[in-house]
């Protein structure tokens, strides 16, 4: 992932040093596990732990140099690690293991840690959405369908729905974390032919993983599930960003991104305050969806294993985790700093719509008064069109229509914003269980 979208705490999990450090820990734990079952002298296992090399830039460079000869990254790593430990103890490194025992188990540790960071970031987004939903629950605005004004809603109701969706994303991340928090040290085709199952249990237990049956590799539907959770986060953030972009349009003007001191919206037009963060997040959601497609294609491998998934995962797994973490953090800041223009929302709702957003309660009132529904619909539809074309308030047009039979109190009730929004607090009630 390019540095622009890489936040340091997540990026630190996916460095070459971090990857090889986990490989080495799996290898050393496996040696210690062999000692516990009596296959290796305990003193020699202790020596492997004591003389295990420090995984730093020099170590990584040595492995990369060795790989130029072996053309196999794990074989190169084992060679360098064994040499660093020294003979004869170093010969126990990688004893009974195949490359995927090390790589897949270490990768699952990394993905579990990445999921923990994603869950922490998701907590932040849920919390800020819930807080702002409470603040804006009474901020009336026009609800829109097909991009057209429909009926009144509130901005707090939108925020509450986003919060509930983000909470579902969090549940998906929790489930995906559990699915990837697994490991395997069961040999070349997963049958433990050259390794004691107790070794797998020991290593996985030390790493906080659950041992699972596998072929040579851990099944890739687990990784795809994490990618689905990441893509779902992206879709939620895109939902939020798309709405903010629409509300920020000059003609709407109901919300805008926080604009910092010294910030410039355009290199050419000083008046511009563009919704650049919302646009950026919408774009990155597209990338996250692309990773999911590639991850699903990694599920089907030949027989007990091939490596068609490996090259793909070197790109998509780090990048998906990095981007998801980035969009969660940025979306949190977006909502936290969002400027809401409640007066403009109400202006668009009432004056801007000429009262058309109250057409349905007028229709229902006419039906309730005894008028046939289609006849009532045609009256309100006709008068609504006349109101819009003549830039007149719908109530005024209705009152001048001799076919309209409602009295003033009935129209007062139909055009009451308080009546329309009386049940909106239910949105906040739905958030009571969201922590």
Backbone angles phi, psi at 48, to 5 degrees: -60, -45
User: Which residues form the catalytic set?
Assistant: 146, 266
Q: What is the DSSP letter of 254?
A: S
- The helix, strand and coil proportions of the chain, stated in percent and rounded to the nearest 5, come to 65, 5, 30
Nearest to 428 by CA among 124, 135, 160, 141: 160
Cβ atoms within 10 A of the Cβ of 19, count? 21
15 φ/ψ sector (left φ>0, alpha ψ -120 to 50, else beta)? beta
Distance CA 291, CA 297 (A): 10
- Alpha-carbon distance 375 to 49, whole Å? 86
Burial class (CB in 10 A: 0-12, 13-18, 19+), 387: buried
The answer to whether 176 and 115 are in contact (CB under 8 A) is yes
Alpha helices in 214-352 (DSSP H): 221-247, 276-297, 308-337, 342-349
End-to-end Cα, the chain, rounded Å: 32
- DSSP state letters, 23-61: HHHHHHHHHHHHHHTTSS-HHHHHHHHHHPPP-SHHHHH
8 Å CB contact between 147 and 418:
no
């Amino acid at each position: 992932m390019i540095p622009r979208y890489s936040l340091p705490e997540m990026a630190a999990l996916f460095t070459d040093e971090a990857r090889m450090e986990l490989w080495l820990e799996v290898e050393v734990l496996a040696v210690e596990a062999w000692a516990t079952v009596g296959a290796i002298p305990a003193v020699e296992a202790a020596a492997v732990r004591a003389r295990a090399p420090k995984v730093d830039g020099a170590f990584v460079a040595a492995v990369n140099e060795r790989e130029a000869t072996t053309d196999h990254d794990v074989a190169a790593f084992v060679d360098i690690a064994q040499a660093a430990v020294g003979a004869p103890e170093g010969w126990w490194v990688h004893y009974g293991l195949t490359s995927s025992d090390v790589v897949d188990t270490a990768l699952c540790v990394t993905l579990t840690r990445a999921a923990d960071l994603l869950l922490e970031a998701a907590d932040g987004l849920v919390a800020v959405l819930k807080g702002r939903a409470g603040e804006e629950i009474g901020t009336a605005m026009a609800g829109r369908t097909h991009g057209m004004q429909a009926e009144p809603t509130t901005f707090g109701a939108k925020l509450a729905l986003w919060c509930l969706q983000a909470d579902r994303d969090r549940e998906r991340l929790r489930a995906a974390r559990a699915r990837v928090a697994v490991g395997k040290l069961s040999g070349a085709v997963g049958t433990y032919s050259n390794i004691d199952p107790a070794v797998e249990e020991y290593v996985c237990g030390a790493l906080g993983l659950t041992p699972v049956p596998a072929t040579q590799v851990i099944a890739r539907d687990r990784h795809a599930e994490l990618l689905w959770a990441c893509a779902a986060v992206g879709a939620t953030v895109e939902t939020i960003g798309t709405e903010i972009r629409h509300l920020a349009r000059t003609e709407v003007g109901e919300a805008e991104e926080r604009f910092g001191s010294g910030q410039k919206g355009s290199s050419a037009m000083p008046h511009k305050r563009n919704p650049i963060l919302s646009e950026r997040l919408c774009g990155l959601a597209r990338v996250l969806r692309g990773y999911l497609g590639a991850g699903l294609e990694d599920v089907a491998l030949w027989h007990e294993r091939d490596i068609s998934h490996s090259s793909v995962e070197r790109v998509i797994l780090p990048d998906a985790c990095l981007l998801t973490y980035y969009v969660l953090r940025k979306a949190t800041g977006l909502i936290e700093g969002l400027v809401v223009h409640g007066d403009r929302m109400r202006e668009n709702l009432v004056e801007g719509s000429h009262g058309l957003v109250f057409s349905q309660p007028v229709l229902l009132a006419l039906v309730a008064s005894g008028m046939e529904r289609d006849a009532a619909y045609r009256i309100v539809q006709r008068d609504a069109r006349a109101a819009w074309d003549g830039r007149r308030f719908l109530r005024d047009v209705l009152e001048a229509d001799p076919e309209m039979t409602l009295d003033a109190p009935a129209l007062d009730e139909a055009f009451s914003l308080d009546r329309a929004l009386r049940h909106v607090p239910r949105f906040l009630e739905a958030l009571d269980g969201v922590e």
